[in-house]
Structure 1
Amino acid sequence: MSFTLPTFASRLFRPLSTRFGITADTTGGSAIAIPEGAEKATIAAGCFWGVEHLYRKHFGDKGLYDARVGYTGGDLTNPSYRAVCGGQTGHAEALQIHYDPSKITYRQLLEFFYRMHDPTTSNRQGPDVGPQYRSAIYYHTPDQETVAREVTRQANEAWYKGGIATEIAPAGRWWDAEEYHQQYLHHNPSGYECPSHFLRTFPPLQ
């Protein structure tokens, strides 16, 4: 059995759906509330479908409350997928994670981040090229910034030999992506997945 890999153009020109708010959709349609005490992490690592899929697969039963794909880091208010794909809005395709800090640490999320994509290519992941596909960590607190810079330093020395090009910046305004992007690979198992999204078998960071 064979299938045709979706092209960039087919990604860009899918019909746009209605934008939803900040409620979480973890079961393909039922919204959940984020529990009090949850913490938030925001990262960008290329096409957000694969990033979300890998985080859910790895952390879904380990304290992850929700993972939403969306847009951040740009200037346009309420950006659409089509506008972001044009590369002119300044936004990155990103993932926002809500998690239980008693079960998952921020450091664990960032070590996973550096294992699951290629942080050495500026504004590119695999065949996906443009500023919307940049590698970035958007921190929400001073403590997150400290952890982000330390994990980046260690990964750069131990795993990437000085090649990391990841942006580290304060988290700005977040925009949920259109609903058809949420859990896209769960609903479309043969859908496009960036070939740079896989877990590298690096030794543990010290």
Structure 2
Amino acid sequence: MHGPASSGWLLVALCAATGAYCLLRMRSGVEEQRRAAGGEALMGFGMAAMAVPAAVFTPPAWAWPAYAVVFGAAGLRALWAARSGRHHLHHLVGDAAMVYMALAMAGSSAHGHAHGSSGVPLLTGMLLLYFTGYVLLTGVRLLPVAVVAGGGTAGDGTAGGGTAGGGAADGWGDRPELARACRLSMGIAMLAMLLTM
């Protein structure tokens, strides 16, 4: 039991730290970044709470339906926002995954954690494939930005995503490589959580 509990605490720490950084990103001067950061902060803190080991804290029965309602509402918001940009579709998939996990946890706690079938359910498998692809793609996209940032060419504006002034006007909360690293860590955490289902 020590192994799963320690990995659960690592997930809690990763997701909570990511959520806290996303709260800092909400101070950005770019409205679109503030909106995205708000949704990602909700996701980070929600995943952190969901990852707390059951041996330490077992949520009350009403908590899982409450999770489903909160992330269902966030998913509707992401669906509405997807009219202006495709990247909101990822938030929609993440919110749907949270609703799915909350409903699965509500069902398993209602049935005494009994699993009647073997193998991976179809929806779990599809979410695992999606988040595996997302993690790999985000990791690949993160590498060139890190090389440019480390190559001493900070003044050429190739990082993108900042304010018009560049340089000192861009706070560390507006750095696109940090936002990508945030999304990468949440994608990895989502994979870990789906694998435990």
Q: Larger % of helix: which?
A: 2
Q: Larger % of strand: which?
A: 1
TM-score under structure 1 normalisation?
Answer: 0.25
Higher RCO (C-alpha 8 Å, min separation 6): 1
TM-score under structure 2 normalisation?
Answer: 0.26
